[in-house]
């Protein structure tokens, strides 16, 4: 009996010991699993933490409506640079970018951008911001009005842009979400006001311009040669033209092109307003920039029906223009290719389905503008159903406004709703809308339809006024004056120095005679200045760029 009790005791002890060991092993295994899950799936916040984050986001949004950010006493668009230095002293660092300068105050965890003497951009890097994650922003504020992307050697970021009111724009900047980290932490926030809306005791840029300078801003001029020739210099110095369009005849190699663009910038640097430097770089068969691999046509992109590819094409086009020192691209084409016999559009269109054209065209537009190049959507109100090339003769489309709304206008309406900044108007006669003038000279189409009905408030640029569709029917000065009367902001004239000069002089004469009011000129110039300000274009010299980096991306997209 005694031996039996001893055996039972030993058994109990063994069982207890085994249970303790197993429990320890289980705890150890559970800890490992928890640690692994924590690395891949961050621990959920407590209700109190989440509530605090939500209140912080709401506070940021509320203060942004007043031009302020939490913890910063300055107001975007109102605070003067002197007020900042009086309170905080000299900045630790400053970085000029054209007319804008950014100053850093690391101890305050704030950076400020100013233009002239006014702070227009406030960036906060305060520690609490890192508690906010991508999902928190979307859950609290809804989908962003716009998503942008920025990538360089150090960062790969997504920028969620919210228009908090008519004055202020709030940007939430985070690392781009990945499969490994799908819910990244916030890096910083930026509250800004459009520099063109800044108020100060100084006169506005528009108020400082002469009539000659204002009219010059409304001209996009083509030039001859591969260097800044005397006529080009006169257009810049004497006639103050606001933009240059480049063609293949001007661009023979990358090094030559860069020298030409930088030379033009140097000449224009004496003028108060930087230049639109523009080109038709659509991809496919319409390209101007030398030394680059060929991008797929819009038709090919349409057949693949891949919006991400469209966005990436827009980004690549923007990178190419940056490399050449340019800032405006006449792309994307958002014409619906509804007429298979069309001699001018064809594979330049994404296809014959307006919804497809709209989706893909807008993604190319967004990829371009997200990389700080101005996209120009074209050819309003739609060039897809023509059987005549407007380079050679004036096409005619016998469609009613209702019929245009059912097809051609759909991509343009969507692009305008998505924030298109510039629209190019085609040379097409729509007799059911205007029996006298083609669309590029028609008040019914540019003002009544595009401005008033579709609510487009950006820049309207004509297609080339040197096309036979126009020159076979109108004298250059007459066409330019009628186009301005009808509502265009920028007259594009691709060649013939004398035609450019005659157009400028004709517009000035019309103003002096009272046919065109100076207020009408001011409206166009204000729109032009707004776009130039939004994209912060400058006449700064551009450094040499390794085109192979772009060509590598193009080759990757072909795979």
Show Cβ contacts of residue 279 under 8 Å, excluding neighbours closer than 6 positions.
245, 246, 247, 288, 289, 321, 324, 326, 328, 329, 330
Burial (CB count <10 Å: 0-12, 13-18, 19+), residue 93: exposed
322 noted as active-site residue? no
Cα–Cα distance measured from residue 437 to residue 450, given in angstroms and rounded to the nearest whole number? 16
Residue 322: exposed, middle, or buried by beta-carbon count in 10 A (0-12, 13-18, 19+)?
Answer: middle
- b/e map 442-467, b = 16+ CB within 10 Å: bbbbbbbbbbeebebebbbbbbbbbb
Helix (H) or strand (E) holding 47: helix 47-64
Is residue 463 part of the annotated active site? The answer reads: yes
DSSP 162: E
Choose among 264, 258, 268, 243: nearest CA to 289: 258
Radius of gyration of the chain (CA): 29
Beta strands 146-151; 118-124: pairing state: unpaired
Instruction: Report whether 226 contacts 253 (CB < 8 A).
Output: no
Q: Which of 131, 372, 389, 391 is catalytic?
A: 391
Which helix (H) or strand (E) element contains residue 258? helix 254-268
Please give the Cα distance from 97 to 538 (Å, whole number): 8
Q: Which two tokens stand for residue 517?
A: 């009011």
Q: Sheet with 93-97: list strands edge to edge.
A: 93-97, 100-105, 110-115, 118-124, 188-193, 168-175, 156-163, 146-151
Contact between residue 83 and residue 46 where contact means Cβ atoms under 8 Å apart: no
How far apart (Å, rounded) are the C-alpha atoms in residues 219 and 215? 7
Long-range contacts of 52-56 (CB under 8 A, 24+ apart): 53/131, 53/132, 53/136, 54/136, 54/140, 56/128, 56/131, 56/132
> Could you tell me which residues come within 8 angstroms of residue 444 by beta carbon, excluding any fewer than 6 positions away?
433, 434
- Give CA–CA dist 488/25, Å, rounded: 78
Q: Which residues contact 398 (CB under 8 A, 6 or more apart)?
A: 430, 431, 432
Tell me the C-alpha distance between 451 and 74, whole Å: 37
Query: Which residues are known catalytic residues?
Result: 391, 463
């Amino acid at each position: 009996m005694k031996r039996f009790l001893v055996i039972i005791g030993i058994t109990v002890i063994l069982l207890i010991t085994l249970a303790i060991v197993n429990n320890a092993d289980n705890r150890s295994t559970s800890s490992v699993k928890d640690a692994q899950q924590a690395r891949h799936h961050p621990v959920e916040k407590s209700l109190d933490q989440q509530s605090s984050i939500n209140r912080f986001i709401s506070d940021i949004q509320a203060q942004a409506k007043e031009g302020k950010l939490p913890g910063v006493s300055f107001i975007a668009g109102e605070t003067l640079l002197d007020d900042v230095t009086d309170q905080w002293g000299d900045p630790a660092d400053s970085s000029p970018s054209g007319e804008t300068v950014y100053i850093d105050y690391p101890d305050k965890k704030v950076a400020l951008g100013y233009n002239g003497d006014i702070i227009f951009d406030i960036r906060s890097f305060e520690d609490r911001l890192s508690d906010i994650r991508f999902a928190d922003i979307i859950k609290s504020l809804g989908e962003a009005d716009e998503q942008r992307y920025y990538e360089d050697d150090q960062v790969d970021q997504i920028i969620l842009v919210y228009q908090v009111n008519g004055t202020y724009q709030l940007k939430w900047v985070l690392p781009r979400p990945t499969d490994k980290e799908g819910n990244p932490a916030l890096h910083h926030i930026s509250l800004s006001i459009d520099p063109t809306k800044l108020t100060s005791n100084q006169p506005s840029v528009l108020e400082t311009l002469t009539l000659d300078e204002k009219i010059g801003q409304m001209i996009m001029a083509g030039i001859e040669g591969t260097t800044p020739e005397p006529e080009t210099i006169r257009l810049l110095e004497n006639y103050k033209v606001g933009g240059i369009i480049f063609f293949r005849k001007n661009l023979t190699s990358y090094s030559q092109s860069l020298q030409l663009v930088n030379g033009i910038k140097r000449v224009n640097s004496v003028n108060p307003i930087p230049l639109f430097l523009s080109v038709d770089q659509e991809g496919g068969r319409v390209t101007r920039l030398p030394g680059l691999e060929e991008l797929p046509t819009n038709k090919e992109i349409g057949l693949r029906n891949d919006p991400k590819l469209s966005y990436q094409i827009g980004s690549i086009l923007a990178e190419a223009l940056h490399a050449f020192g340019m800032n405006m691209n006449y792309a994307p084409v958002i014409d619906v290719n509804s007429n298979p016999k069309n001699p001018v559009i064809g594979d330049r269109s994404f296809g014959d389905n307006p919804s497809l054209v709209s989706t893909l065209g807008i993604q190319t537009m967004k990829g371009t503008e997200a990389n700080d190049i101005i996209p120009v959507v074209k050819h309003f109100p739609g060039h897809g159903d023509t059987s005549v090339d407007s380079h050679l003769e004036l096409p005619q489309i016998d469609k009613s406004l209702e019929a245009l709304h059912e097809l051609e206008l759909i991509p343009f309406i969507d692009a305008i709703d998505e924030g298109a900044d510039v629209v190019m108007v085609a040379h097409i006669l729509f007799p059911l809308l205007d029996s006298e003038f083609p669309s590029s000279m028609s008040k019914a189409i540019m003002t009544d339809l595009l401005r008033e009905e579709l609510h487009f408030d950006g820049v309207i640029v004509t297609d080339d006024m040197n096309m036979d569709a126009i020159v076979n029917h109108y004298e250059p000065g007459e066409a330019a004056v009628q186009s301005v009367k009808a509502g265009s902001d920028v007259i594009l004239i691709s060649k013939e120095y004398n035609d450019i000069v005659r157009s400028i002089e004709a517009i000035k004469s019309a103003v002096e005679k009272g046919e065109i009011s100076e207020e009408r000129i001011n409206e166009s110039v204000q729109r032009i200045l707004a776009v130039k300000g939004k994209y912060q274009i400058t006449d700064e010299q551009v450094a040499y760029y390794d085109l192979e980096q772009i060509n590598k991306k193009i080759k990757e997209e072909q795979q």
